[in-house]
Amino acid sequence: MSQISTSSQHLRRPSAVAAIIIVRALIVFDAVALLFAGIVHLVGARIPLGFGVFVEPPLLSAGIVETLTGLLFVVAIYVMFAGVARAWGWALGAHLFAIAGFMLGILATVKGTTPFNHDYHLAMLTIFVCGLILLLTPPLRAGLAPRIQRATRAD
């Protein structure tokens, strides 16, 4: 009989458990932020805030990339919480795709963009890089890649 277990020496440390919780929270945040930004970029936004107006024009290409990246993070969330053995690979792939997309976005907005869009790109890129660094640590890699262990029976 086989069972999936995430037990390892790395996971016995409280810091490893905390790192897994942090990366899971970051990935949920990433998905929500990207899907929100994707919608804003697909349709544009003009939201009165009382002290000013948040204005973001429609940018179809940005909306498509952000929505696709957000969906990659949604898949990463699912596989992480479901305990799928390839959770680490999905989380890594989502981060690498996001970093590449946001670097492209920063290059595309060099000639000008809204203040929010500029700050958003820099903040999210920083969050993606931090998530990537966490994912590359041995405790997180071990914690997001469950091992299949054979149960032994004493006859």
Q: Across all residues in the chain, what is the average pLDDT? A: 81
Q: How many CB atoms lie within 10 A of CB 112?
A: 7
pLDDT of residue 28: 96
Work out the burial of residue 27: count CB atoms within 10 Å of its CB; fewer than 13 is exposed, 13-18 middle, 19 or more buried: buried
- pLDDT lower than 50: segments of the chain: 1-10, 147-152, 155
**Can you tell me the distance from the alpha carbon of 99 to that of 76, in angstroms, rounded to the nearest whole number?**
15
pLDDT of residue 2: 40
H/E run at residue 91: helix 87-108
pTM for the model stands at 0.78
pLDDT of residue 17: 78
pLDDT of residue 5: 43
**Residue 84 DSSP code:** -
- Tens of pLDDT, residues 35-44: 999 998 899 8
Work out the burial of residue 33: count CB atoms within 10 Å of its CB; fewer than 13 is exposed, 13-18 middle, 19 or more buried: middle
